[in-house]
Amino acid sequence: MRHFPVALPATFIAACFALSGCSPAEQSATEPTSTATQASFEADNHWRVETPTIDEHSFANSNQVRTPHLHLSLAVDFNAKVLSGYVEFELEYLEANTDTLILDTEMLTIARTEAYTNGEWAHTEFNLGERDVILGTPLSVSLPPGAEKVRVHYSSSPEATGLDWVAPEGTAGGKHPFLYSQSQPHYARTWIPIQDTPTERLTFSAELRTPPELIGLMGANNPPNPERTGVYQFESRQKIPSYLMAIAVGDLAFHALNERMAIYAEPSVLESAVAEFGYTTDMMNVTEELFGPFAWDRYDQLVLPPSFPFGGMENPQLAFLTPTVIAGDQSLVSLIAHELAHSWSGNLVTNATWRDLWLNEGFTSYVENRIMEAVYGKERALMERMLDAQSLDAALPSLSERQQVLHIELAQRDPDSSFTAVPYTKAQQFLFFLEDRFGRDTFDAFVRQYFADFAFQSLTTEQFQDYMERELVLPNPGRVSREEIMQWLYAPGLPNNSPRPQVAAFQRVAEAQERWFAGETIDISAWSIHERLYFLSNLPEDVSQNQLARMDREFNLTHTKNNSVLSNWLVIAIQHDYQPAMPRVEEMLISMGRLAYILSVYRALAATPEGLEQARLIYAKAKPSYHVLTRDQVEDVLGL
Ligand SMILES: [Zn+2]
């Protein structure tokens, strides 16, 4: 998933999650850290910190009985905003006498349950347990002796966090509704009763019944260019964790990029999406060259309506993308590289729990940057690394020490609170640090082997440490110390040895900026978006109204079509009360729900009493078109 933008400033997702509230400890800078763990680790003279793999964010009893395959049969009702039908699980017993299957659910209505024993389906009892505000409600299904399968008949709630029912006016075409899911980290349970933990994987098949004029898709091997029949079949031959279960239904057009890659978008968006994302075929080629063969059947990309709260979501074989990255000049396509990279890091090799999120997002941010370097050149890749590093620097002071640790402590916490810049950019810097120390050839071979050895498996930070010690550190002695690795994984903040590349282009921007503020004219016609963003991110505090007006005129800021530049510019405009940009603030906040772009603008507004009042008025208008996750975050900022 891509939560925060490549650009400045600190537009990471706030730690506070509305469901669980904002714990005071979240804001504390004096939380205990993992230094005690480090000490005992060193005393043991062993690289591994022994902790059992326990997923704190699931009720599932997958240590007793697993569900290696599921079949879904669902009807999509746009009027009621409900999915209804059944899910069927094949069972694999780890403890022979297990008499209950425990599934995760949240806000689901369970109609009845059945078990398949000796060739027959028969009614079986179920029980819903006590609801937990973060985890939802455990569903216990009785297993008669010898039960081979279980069926749960159910329907979802119109309020399901994991489903966005977009009204026609929220789509590009304006005529048809749109439905899409967001299951990461723990929202699959809001639309499927499931063992909702990344420690487990399953294959699946499915049948969706939709209004006949719409196309239904899933995170699966979608048949190319589907006909509008209203009944769609899917199959995922590859085992996936539950958070990658995905569904989308809308008025969609199809464009093949090659035999195994295509783009889906609303008809009026398709052409610009193809122009912007057509280069994904090149990205695919370089990623396979660098890190090994693509392990899935297809790689399709789906452009969602602008309410999608994130940049992208790496649903397997069908990446979900925000339309806000279509800038017309491929300036924001690091997002495309990011979601593609997840086909290796995250989807193929998966974090065992949300404590290990950095394994997904850090490796993905690293591979993303390597793809950008291979396709767009070293300088652009370095600029993107530098802008990310600046975002991380800006984000760190507002995060608690606990949140600054890669192997994050999450007991009693919402797993969504782990999605800060830390598992992305700090972890990316850790991997570049390793690359520097071991050399690119050695490190590339290690990463390639890592993806191959753990393909279609989930692993913990501790398992990764073991593997790294055996495959990288011991065969190449004297490159990194144990203390350095421990500091990266278990200490807050950034180590002093964090790599910080020199970017010549940004040096030139800094010099040009000095001349510009001295009143000279500078030629920025050849500047990339990254150079413009760097200029904006490094303005002096006391920039004047005249200078802002001149900047706006010469850089085309208020009316830019680049949403990353726009978001950053509007924050500056609000902070300096630059009135000519104000009409664009409302327009922007109402037109999209991407958190990375809108949250920083809401925060800037909320910094003054008048701004807060204005922000609340704008939010009241924008709210109906926002995703429930966007609403939660914005309401948190606005104190609603
Ligand atoms: Zn990601």
Q: What is the pLDDT of residues 238-265, one digit of tens each?
A: 999 999 999 999 999 999 999 999 999 9
Q: What pLDDT, on the 0 to 100 scale, is given for residue 126?
A: 98
Q: What does 401-458 look like in DSSP terms, one character per residue?
A: TGGG-SS---TTS-GGGG-SHIIIIIHHHHHHHHHHHH-HHHHHHHHHHHHHHTTTEE
Q: Has residue 12 got a pLDDT over 80?
A: no
pTM: predicted TM-score of the whole model, two decimal places: 0.91
How many angstroms separate the alpha carbon of residue 550 from the centre of ligand 1? 37
Distance from C-alpha of 58 to C-alpha of 566, rounded to nearest angstrom: 40
How many angstroms separate the alpha carbon of residue 420 from the centre of ligand 1? 11
Helix or strand holding residue 507 (H, E): helix 504-517
Q: What pLDDT, on the 0 to 100 scale, is given for residue 4?
A: 52
How many angstroms separate the alpha carbon of residue 510 from the centre of ligand 1? 31
Cβ-based neighbours of 85, under 8 Å, separated by 6 or more: 72, 73, 74, 75, 153, 154, 155
Cβ-based neighbours of 459, under 8 Å, separated by 6 or more: 349, 350, 351, 352, 356, 359, 467
How many angstroms separate the alpha carbon of residue 548 from the centre of ligand 1? 35
Q: Cis omega (within 30 of 0) on the bond before 185?
A: yes
The alpha carbon of residue 133 and the mean position of all alpha carbons in its chain are separated, in whole angstroms, by 22
**pLDDT class of 1 with cuts at 50, 70, 90:** confident
**pLDDT class of 501 with cuts at 50, 70, 90:** confident
Q: Has residue 31 got a pLDDT over 50?
A: no
Distance from C-alpha of 293 to C-alpha of 283, rounded to nearest angstrom: 13
Higher per-residue pLDDT: 299 or 28 = 299
Q: What pLDDT, on the 0 to 100 scale, is given for residue 24?
A: 28
Q: Has residue 230 got a pLDDT over 60?
A: yes
Q: Has residue 503 got a pLDDT over 60?
A: yes
How many angstroms separate the alpha carbon of residue 310 from the centre of ligand 1? 10
Structure tokens at 243: 């958070």
How many angstroms separate the alpha carbon of residue 475 from the centre of ligand 1? 30
Query: To 5 degrees, how large is the angle CA 217–CA 356–CA 479?
Result: 125
**pLDDT class of 442 with cuts at 50, 70, 90:** very high
Whether the Cβ atoms of residue 595 and residue 633 lie closer than 8 Å to each other: yes
How much is the average pLDDT of 381-407? 96
Q: Has residue 481 got a pLDDT over 60?
A: yes
Task: Tell me the β-bridge partners of 69.
Answer: 90, 203
Q: What pLDDT, on the 0 to 100 scale, is given for residue 3?
A: 60
Q: Has residue 53 got a pLDDT over 80?
A: no
| C-beta neighbour count of 197 within 10 angstroms | 27
Q: Has residue 30 got a pLDDT over 80?
A: no
Q: Has residue 6 got a pLDDT over 60?
A: no
Distance from C-alpha of 146 to C-alpha of 490, rounded to nearest angstrom: 45
Which of 360, 338, 337 is closest to 350 using CA atoms?
360
The alpha carbon of residue 89 and the mean position of all alpha carbons in its chain are separated, in whole angstroms, by 27
Q: Has residue 444 got a pLDDT over 80?
A: yes
Higher per-residue pLDDT: 192 or 50 = 192
Least confident of 16-30, 135-149, 275-289, 551-565: 16-30
How many angstroms separate the alpha carbon of residue 125 from the centre of ligand 1? 39
Q: What pLDDT, on the 0 to 100 scale, is given for residue 604?
A: 97
Helix or strand holding residue 127 (H, E): strand 126-128
The alpha carbon of residue 520 and the mean position of all alpha carbons in its chain are separated, in whole angstroms, by 42
Q: What pLDDT, on the 0 to 100 scale, is given for residue 35?
A: 35
How many angstroms separate the alpha carbon of residue 107 from the centre of ligand 1? 27
How many angstroms separate the alpha carbon of residue 363 from the centre of ligand 1? 9
Q: Has residue 436 got a pLDDT over 50?
A: yes
Q: Give 54-110 pLDDT, tens digit per residue.
A: 899 999 999 999 999 999 999 999 999 999 999 999 999 999 999 999 999 999 999
How many angstroms separate the alpha carbon of residue 8 from the centre of ligand 1? 18
Distance from C-alpha of 320 to C-alpha of 219, rounded to nearest angstrom: 9
How many angstroms separate the alpha carbon of residue 527 from the centre of ligand 1? 28
Which residues are tagged catalytic? Answer: 339
Identity (one letter) of the amino acid at 201? R
Q: What pLDDT, on the 0 to 100 scale, is given for residue 557?
A: 97
Task: Tell me the β-bridge partners of 132.
Answer: 136
How much is the average pLDDT of 331-356? 97
Distance from C-alpha of 212 to C-alpha of 215, rounded to nearest angstrom: 8
How much is the average pLDDT of 21-30? 31
Distance from C-alpha of 551 to C-alpha of 547, rounded to nearest angstrom: 6
Whether the Cβ atoms of residue 285 and residue 279 lie closer than 8 Å to each other: no
Q: Give 587-639 pLDDT, tens digit per residue.
A: 999 999 999 999 999 999 999 999 999 999 999 999 999 999 999 999 999 99
Whether the Cβ atoms of residue 8 and residue 387 lie closer than 8 Å to each other: yes
Q: Has residue 479 got a pLDDT over 70?
A: yes
**pLDDT class of 232 with cuts at 50, 70, 90:** very high
Helix or strand holding residue 487 (H, E): helix 482-490
How many angstroms separate the alpha carbon of residue 316 from the centre of ligand 1? 12
* Residue-averaged pLDDT of the chain: 92
Domain architecture of the chain: domains with CATH? 13-32+326-490 (1.10.390.10), 539-638 (1.25.40.320)
Tokens 């890190």 label which residue?
291
Task: Tell me the β-bridge partners of 207.
Answer: 73, 233
Whether the Cβ atoms of residue 345 and residue 452 lie closer than 8 Å to each other: no
| C-beta neighbour count of 393 within 10 angstroms | 16
Q: What pLDDT, on the 0 to 100 scale, is given for residue 364?
A: 98
Q: Give 203-213 pLDDT, tens digit per residue.
A: 999 999 999 99
Whether the Cβ atoms of residue 560 and residue 569 lie closer than 8 Å to each other: yes
How much is the average pLDDT of 127-155? 98
How many angstroms separate the alpha carbon of residue 116 from the centre of ligand 1? 38
Which of 376, 413, 60 is closest to 243 using CA atoms?
60
Q: Give 528-538 pLDDT, tens digit per residue.
A: 999 999 999 99
Cβ-based neighbours of 637, under 8 Å, separated by 6 or more: 14, 599, 602, 603, 606, 615
Structure tokens at 594: 């991407």
Q: Has residue 28 got a pLDDT over 70?
A: no
Q: What is the DSSP letter of 9?
A: S
How many angstroms separate the alpha carbon of residue 518 from the centre of ligand 1? 41
How much is the average pLDDT of 348-377? 98
How many angstroms separate the alpha carbon of residue 388 from the centre of ligand 1? 14
Sheet with 178-181: list strands edge to edge: 163-166, 178-181, 247-250, 215-218
